[in-house]
């Protein structure tokens, strides 16, 4: 079963978005998005 980070990365790349793009849309830092995708951070 795929985790949240894997699904997030797949959705982001399918939309041709960078981590910076997604972070700007969600009003978080790129490091937060990276943490979500790698499983380092869950919130």
Indicate whether 12 belongs to any domain. yes
Indicate whether 23 belongs to any domain. yes
Q: Find where tokens 């499983």 sit.
A: 39
pTM value is 0.87
- CB burial string 9-40: b at 16+ within 10 A, e below: beebeeeeeebeebbeeeeeeeebbebbbeee
Task: Collapse the DSSP code of 1 into the 3-class scheme (helix H, G, I; strand E, B; otherwise coil) and give the result.
Answer: coil
Indicate whether 31 belongs to any domain. yes
Q: How many distinct structural domains can be found in the chain?
A: 1
Task: Express each pLDDT in 4-43 by its tens digit.
Answer: 999 999 999 999 999 999 999 999 999 999 999 999 876 5
Rounded to whole angstroms, the Cα distance separating 40 from 25 reads 21
Indicate whether 43 belongs to any domain. no
Indicate whether 8 belongs to any domain. yes
Evaluate if residue 1 carries a pLDDT over 80.
no
Looking at residue 2, what is its pLDDT?
85
Phi first, then psi, for residue 42 (nearest 5°) are -110, -5
Task: Collapse the DSSP code of 18 into the 3-class scheme (helix H, G, I; strand E, B; otherwise coil) and give the result.
Answer: coil
Task: Express each pLDDT in 33-43 by its tens digit.
Answer: 999 999 987 65
Domain that holds residue 13: 4-37
Looking at residue 43, what is its pLDDT?
59
Looking at residue 41, what is its pLDDT?
73
């Amino acid at each position: 079963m795929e985790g949240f980070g894997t699904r997030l990365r797949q959705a982001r790349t399918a939309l041709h978005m960078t981590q910076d793009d997604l972070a700007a849309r969600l009003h978080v830092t790129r490091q937060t998005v990276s943490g979500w995708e790698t499983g380092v951070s869950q919130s």
